[in-house]
A and B are shown apart, each in its own frame.
Chain A
Amino acid sequence: MGNCLPFLYRCGAGDEEDDTAPLQHRRSTSSFASSASTSHETTSVANSAPPPYSHDQNVYYPMQREQGIPATPAVSEEEQLRLARRLGLLQELPTDTFVEGGKGDVECAICMVDLKDGDPIRFLPCLHSYHVDCVDDWLMRSFTCPSCMEPVDSALLSSYTTHNVNDLAGLSSSPACAGPTVPPPQPRPPSTFQ
């Protein structure tokens, strides 16, 4: 919807002869953009009031076609927050490229394929290492080491407390930890009211 306003502005302000060519161009780009957009965006577009240029059937056609596609199941806000937090935590875990004869495991325990020189790997706090793709997929489901079942976030949090206590509130992954950090304001003593 971001490009609607400039389009309308140009439609009204531009002169009649010159307008047809850019309009054709606009039609093709806007239909391409809407067919490539996600179903979520499409529903929000379809639910809003019809724009002033609704007589233009070419613009509307791909949107109507996409209405038949069932929308992806809605993810609750809480779940989205949890996933976002976890994605953030994932970025805190060190990555490396595998070097043969170096430290760490020689086989990725998730796909059971031997690690090769140059494979991107990720280290967990327990020092187990896996292919980045394999372990990220696993950690988004369960935040524990697949080999030793060590919870990753508690280890990550404790390693951070030693470095920077102030970051702890921002790193905490469970909603229970994300309580108010500022103490409730104390009632002023009555003497100050004078």
Chain B
Amino acid sequence: MSNIAFQRLQREFKEVITNAEIAQTGIRLDTSDDTLTKLKGEIKGPPDSPYEGGTFKLDIIIPDNYPFHPPKVSFETKIWHPNISSQTGTICLDILKDQWAASLTLRTVLLSVQSLLAAPEPSDPQDAVVAKQCLTHPQMFTETARLWAQVCADAPGERNSQLYKKLTQLMDMGVGKESALSALSCNSWDVSKATEHLFS
């Protein structure tokens, strides 16, 4: 990593860790090694969204030519959102691609991801299945996204008993929590279709 990248990252890190105002927005940054190439981010689900109160972990990889190229950011926590892959966690966000600017920082990137959760863009999807559900069955999308946040991101609140019952039904068959969620969500919460999808 170049010297300019390392120095800048140190400053960005210090800003996020020491600033109380940033901590209030539910944004955290952590590092696993001293080289600052692989970072862990954390954002809180924004209020008035299905993700409210959830804690979402993000993988951040800093390229060698940072800040001239954007950091690679993806969700480690499973999430049901039209602009985020429900399988891999890849994010579709313009500032992480062609709209990146050198003056953007890790703090502004995490804030943008957080506002993406509050304002999904199903017309420009990353996950076609989620986007289709979001456009055709908005009610089911909201309930699904909320249950994912409650199950995978520890979001508080009453779980939708109808959906949760179907989930436990599949989990009792020995299916993992996340694959059961994914199979049910992709098959409009039809248990028999989801079972077929899982065991075929």
**Chain A residues engaging chain B, CB cutoff 8 angstroms:** 109-113, 134, 137-138, 141-142, 144, 146-147, 149
Contact = CB atoms under 8 A, between A and B. Distances in A.
Contacts of A113: 7, 11
Contacts of A146: 101-103
B68 interface: yes
24 contacts: A109-B102, A109-B103, A110-B4, A110-B67, A110-B102, A110-B103, A111-B7, A111-B8, A111-B67, A112-B8, A112-B11, A112-B12, A112-B105, A113-B7, A134-B4, A137-B68, A138-B68, A138-B102, A141-B68, A142-B101, A146-B101, A146-B102, A147-B103, A149-B101
Contacts of B12: 112
Interface residues of B, number: 12
Contacts of B105: 112
A55 to B, nearest CB: 47
The 10 closest A-B pairs by CB, nearest first: A146-B102, A109-B103, A146-B103, A147-B103, A110-B102, A146-B101, A112-B11, A112-B8, A111-B4, A138-B102
- Secondary structure of the A contact surface, majority rule: loop
B12 to A, nearest CB: 7
Contacts, number: 32
A144 B103 CA distance: 11
Contacts of A138: 68, 102
Contacts of A111: 4, 7-8, 67
A9 B103 CA distance: 59
A144 B12 CA distance: 23
Nearest to B5: A111
A138 B8 CA distance: 15
A8 B200 CA distance: 80
A110 B103 CA distance: 5
Interface string B103-116: 10100000000000
Given A110-B67, A138-B68, A144 B7 contact: no
| Residue of A112, A138, A142, A149 contacting most chain B CB atoms (<10 Å) | A112
Nearest to B9: A112
Contacts of A110: 4, 67, 102-103
Nearest to A137: B68
Contacts of A147: 101, 103
A128 to B, nearest CB: 9
A146 B7 CA distance: 18
Interface string B1-32: 00010011001100000000000000000000
